[in-house]
Amino acid sequence: MFSRREFLMAATATSALLGSGMAGSWSRLMAQQSLTEDQLLAMDPKGKLTLVHITDIHAQLKPLYFREPSINLGIGEVAGQPPHVTGADFLKLYNIAPGSPDAYALTSEDYVALARSYGRMGGLDRIATVIRRIRAERGDDNVLLLDGGDTWQGSFTSNATLGQDMVTVMNALKPDAMTGHWEFTYGTDRVKEIIDGLPFAFLGSNIYDAEWDEPAFEAWRMYERGGARVAVIGQAFPYTPIANPRWMIPDWSFGIKEEDIAAHVEEAIAEGADVVVLLSHNGFDVDRKLASRVDGIDVILTGHTHDALPEPVIVNNTLVIASGSNGKFLSRIDLDVQDGKVTSYAHRLIPIFSDVITPDAEMSALIDEVRAPYEADLQRVLGRTESLLYRRGNFNGTFDDLICQALLSERDAEIALSPGFRWGTTLLPGQDITFEDVHNACAMTYPAAYRTAMTGQMLKDILEDVGDNLFNPDPYYQQGGDMVRVGGMGYTIDPSKSIGERISAMTLLSTGEAIDPAREYIVAGWASVNEGTEGPPIAEVVEAHLSKNPVVVLPDNQSVKLAG
């Protein structure tokens, strides 16, 4: 880890390169050639009420590297609209100086160099400090802390403890409510067991009993904060039983159900709510559409698609707030409430620079305690990477390339498929690859790496299906992941086409031959949603591959071509 002094020097050097004339809220900090905790937290307060939003932590307790995507295409009306803006365009849109802390936190531009300067981000002990300071500044009774879910899954320790490490640590942060998605992959019984013991609300207005179509979870709750009545409606990931195994939660049915949200908004207002908040795991585009169709929501705290936006997007008088993922950010929203209405707001997306924000000592101790039984395993070095390993991006991620290589070689397959998850941490060139790092990319409760025969037609159908989940022009039909990653096969995709017409030029890379729709290919993959999938856990497959190939060097992946 960088010492404070080294960090300041790095910031100074970057600043000197850039000179003056930088715009954006953090250029001022750059001009001072340093970052401090006070500066990261400073904002002009508004009103009495403060919402604090964190989401998609994916069980990351410790500071980490997480590279934002360089490709995140928007289709139809949202083309070129946030969050479908990346790299230099993002910097321009938000007036952020290249090389600044903001540029490092929010984009993939010059990522490796900036990561070396600015260091890791996140860490729930740093987040604890930020939350403690916001509560101290605003008053305990005026702050609502809301967790958007995807909190309990994504690490070796969360898997090993069935989410308990995260539950223990999050409880110490004292949230007021949460909703969920990957939480449900621990299965009905475990989810119920945890929720029964939570000292705060688990809200899911869109979860119903699958047989009787009756509400299965508490839909919303009223809070008195900052002199206002604040209704928080919970919206779990609508496609959990489709994107994840339905057999693990057979009794629960989900869906977007916007009429139900509208009904809850009306109920809340009838019960005297001054402020209506939707704590959502819908994904950004779904929530943007929902905000345009359902009146009366003051704030949507959105999650699932892992977007970090430095400003709210305002739709139909609703503030849509995107707070990033993996503990890299936390949003603070101050609301001035007058006569039962929100009259003004202030917002800050607070980047958690782990070398700048002082860890909360009690939380550091608690994190060490929950990790202690596994610490020796976690630190075990399996290899070293000479390439940047990351996952985010619509079509490729180098960490997924590594996983696909492992599947091809260890499972003796012609083609490998790896899901387009958006969680999973980043490793810089020269870093060791530890047991923990591999599990950060693979940790889940249905990890079996299958090996099966699929026809060329079936492979095309899968690519078309996933492509439509990502690029359907109607956000309500989008599931929010990225394109399935493919090893051993190349293809061309035109996202603007419709299902059945997006994918072309499928090619078996080993021979250069076109994929034959009628021929069967040996395919290895993981994370099948089908019950009874057989095979070794994917982390073991990657570990076995690394034991034979301990130095990872990955060329640029050119196998997916973009058309249209």
Partner 1 sequence: MTITRRQMLGATAGAAVTLAFLPRLALAAAQSTDEAIMAFTKGATPTEGTVSLDTPEIAENGNTVPVGVSVDSPMTADNYVESVLILADGNPNPAVATFHFTALSGVAEAKTRIRLAKTQNVIAVARMNDGSVFIDRKEVKVTIGGCGG
**Least distance between partner 1 and beta carbon 241 (Å):** 5
Rounded CA-CA distance 420/395 in Å is 8
Contacts 24+ apart (CB under 8 A), 310-316: 310/25, 310/94, 310/96, 310/102, 310/106, 310/349, 311/94, 311/347, 311/349, 312/345, 312/347, 313/81, 313/82, 313/288, 315/288, 315/291, 316/291, 316/292
242 lies in the site for partner 1, by CB under 8 A: yes
Interaction between residue 359 and partner 1 (CB under 8 A):
no
Query: Shortest gap between Cβ of 249 and partner 1 (angstroms)?
Result: 10
Residue 212 near residue 221, CB atoms below 8 Å: no
Shortest Å distance, C-beta 490 to partner 1: 19
- Name which position in 159, 528, 557, 559 contacts partner 1 (CB under 8 A): 528
Least Å from the CB of residue 243 to partner 1: 2
Binding-site member from 123, 419, 456, 535 for partner 1 (CB under 8 A): 419
200 in contact with partner 1 (CB under 8 A): no
According to the binding rule CB under 8 A, does residue 421 interact with partner 1? yes
Residue 509 CB, nearest approach to partner 1 (Å)? 21
SS3 19: coil
Buried residues in 451-480 as b, exposed as e (16+ CB within 10 A): bbebbbeebbbbbbebbbbbbbbebeebbb
Q: Is residue 332 near partner 1 by the rule CB under 8 A? A: no
Q: Which region, judged by CB under 8 A, interacts with partner 1, from 1-9, 118-126, 360-368, 476-484?
A: 476-484
- 250 to 269, contacts with partner 1 by CB under 8 A? 253-256, 259
**476 sits near partner 1 (criterion: CB under 8 A):** yes
Q: Which is nearer to partner 1, 317 or 498 (CB)?
A: 498
Helix orientation angle between 188-197 and 164-173, rounded to the nearest 10 degrees: 30
Shortest distance, position 259 Cβ to partner 1, whole Å: 7
244 lies in the site for partner 1, by CB under 8 A: yes
Q: How many CB atoms lie within 10 A of CB 367?
A: 23
Any contact of residue 450 with partner 1 (CB under 8 A)?
A: no
Of 110, 461, 494, 540, the residue at the interface with partner 1 (CB under 8 A) is: 461
| Burial state string for 250-266 with b = 16 or more CB within 10 A and e = fewer than 16 | eebbbbbbbebbbebbe
- Provide the b/e sequence for 71-101 (b: ≥16 CB within 10 Å): bbbbbeebeeebbbbbbeebbeebebbbbbb
- Alpha carbons 255 and 342: distance in angstroms, whole number: 29
In this structure, the strands spanning 208-209 and 220-225 are: unpaired
Q: Does 481 bind partner 1 (CB under 8 A)?
A: yes
Report the nearest approach of partner 1 to the CB of residue 181 (Å).
Answer: 8
Is 468 among the residues that bind partner 1 (CB under 8 A)? yes
Q: Which of 100, 117, 157, 305 binds partner 1 (CB under 8 A)?
A: 305
Binding of residue 66 to partner 1 (CB under 8 A): no
Which residue is listed with tokens 């009774």?
Answer: 141
Binding residues (CB under 8 A) for partner 1: these are 181, 210, 213, 237, 239-244, 246, 253-256, 259, 304-306, 419-423, 461-462, 465-466, 468-469, 474, 476-477, 479-482, 484, 499, 527-529
